[in-house]
């Protein structure tokens, strides 16, 4: 058998006709099945140990050299392999799915929590790492942001806005069906499916990377860009858009980034029809603040006082 052909077959790079040729060869001879098992073992080592392509090719070269040497001496090699050649051929059917798909199947994540929005309004929630997520009606998340070394995972069904707490040592991956979104600390929205049947990612600030299910990089997004993953063709379309009005309308959310106290107070006054004064605090500091238009005035005032160190006083009746 051709070792290069077997390698391409295991990696999912052969044609239908070449697939049939491989299968016929496996049925014909225990030696062929043993050779197939050899190459599969090399590929398994590559997948398990993250061996470089150079190392994999080097191992295959060594295997080819050994095969050439065996061809010039009595076939003791095949006698040694014959005791488990049939088992190797049976295992090949199991391993085949793993390598034809391009990688080992990942174990199911151990989720530490879930949130399901059963209301008719946008529902905010806060994760253990400080990340805030705003779920549209019917949306749901599973998450593990505290118990996994070096990473944070969220699985999304439906649509949500993410304000991800920054942690360079533990990036977050949002699993959104056919695509994954990788982030460190940023704000963006994800619509997984929805009425269009596609997946949309709108980036407000920071940076995100879109990956395919098998980990292939699709695109990096910049602020005020929207990426649409077309389910029918697996194409990605990127367009410019002003994210803040979209986020405000879609999630009924007011998002202030890098705002000083006077800017925050101005937004509160316009949204609630009140007059607000403040004292204390540091006038040179700037803050990030998200709140829903439907949040109570008291809740918003409490949040602002907590994050800013200012004391706010409210007068009613100003339109």
Considering the domain boundaries, does residue 23 fall inside one? Answer: yes
Q: Which of 248, 268, 296 is the last residue of a domain?
A: 248
Q: Which of 248, 275, 299 is the last residue of a domain?
A: 248
pLDDT value of position 37: 66
pLDDT at 52 over 60: no
Considering the domain boundaries, does residue 105 fall inside one? Answer: no
* Residue 89: pLDDT band with limits 50, 70, 90: very low
Residues 225 and 118 occupy one common structural domain: yes
pLDDT in tens, 238-255: 999 888 878 887 888 887
Residue in the block written with tokens 């209301």: 119
Residues 266 and 242 occupy one common structural domain: no
Residues 140 and 267 occupy one common structural domain: no
Instruction: Give yes or no for a contact between 172 and 152, defined as CB atoms under 8 angstroms apart.
Output: yes
Q: Which of 58, 76, 100 is the last residue of a domain?
A: 100
pLDDT value of position 8: 74
Residues 241 and 256 occupy one common structural domain: no
Q: Among residues 187, 215, 210, which one has the least CA distance to residue 199?
A: 210
Range of the domain at 34: 3-100
Residues 214 and 298 occupy one common structural domain: no
Q: Among residues 130, 184, 127, which one has the least CA distance to residue 155?
A: 127
Considering the domain boundaries, does residue 108 fall inside one? Answer: no
* Segment 283-287 mean pLDDT: 87
Residues 53 and 88 occupy one common structural domain: yes
Residues 226 and 180 occupy one common structural domain: yes
Read off the CATH number of the domain in which 273 is found.
3.55.50
pLDDT value of position 58: 47
Q: CA quadruple 175, 176, 178, 184: dihedral positive or negative?
A: negative
How many domains does one find in the chain?
3
Residues 206 and 244 occupy one common structural domain: yes
Residues 180 and 291 occupy one common structural domain: no
Read off the CATH number of the domain in which 131 is found.
2.60.120.1440
């Amino acid at each position: 058998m051709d070792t290069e052909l077997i390698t391409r077959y295991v990696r999912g790079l052969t044609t239908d006709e070449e697939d049939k040729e491989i299968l016929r060869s496996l049925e014909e001879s225990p030696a062929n099945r043993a050779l197939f098992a050899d190459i599969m073992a090399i590929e398994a080592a590559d997948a398990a140990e993250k061996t470089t392509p150079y190392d994999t090719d080097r191992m295959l070269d060594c295997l080819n050299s050994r095969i050439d040497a065996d061809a010039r001496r009595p076939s003791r090699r095949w006698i040694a392999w014959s005791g488990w050649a049939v088992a190797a051929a049976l295992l090949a059917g199991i391993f085949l799915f793993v390598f034809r798909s391009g990688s080992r199947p990942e174990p199911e994540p151990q989720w530490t929590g879930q949130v399901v929005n059963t209301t008719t309004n946008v529902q905010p929630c806060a994760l253990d790492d400080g990340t805030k997520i705003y779920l549209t009606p019917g949306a749901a998340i599973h998450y593990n942001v505290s118990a996994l070394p070096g990473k944070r995972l969220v699985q999304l069904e439906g649509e949500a806005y993410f304000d991800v707490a920054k942690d360079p040592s533990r990036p977050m991956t949002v699993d959104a069906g056919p695509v994954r979104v990788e982030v460190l600390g940023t704000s963006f929205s994800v619509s997984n499916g929805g009425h269009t049947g596609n997946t949309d990612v709108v980036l407000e600030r920071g940076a995100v990377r879109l990956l395919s299910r098998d980990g292939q990089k699709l695109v990096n997004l910049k602020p005020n860009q929207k990426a649409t993953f077309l389910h029918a063709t697996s194409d990605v379309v990127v367009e410019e858009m002003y994210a803040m009005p979209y986020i405000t309308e879609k999630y009924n959310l007011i998002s202030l980034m890098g705002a000083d106290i006077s800017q925050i107070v101005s937004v509160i006054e316009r949204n609630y029809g009140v007059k607000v004064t403040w004292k204390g605090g540091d006038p040179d500091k700037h803050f990030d603040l998200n709140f829903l238009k439907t949040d109570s005035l008291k809740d918003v005032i409490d949040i602002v006082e907590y994050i800013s160190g200012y004391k706010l006083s409210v007068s009613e009746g100003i339109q």
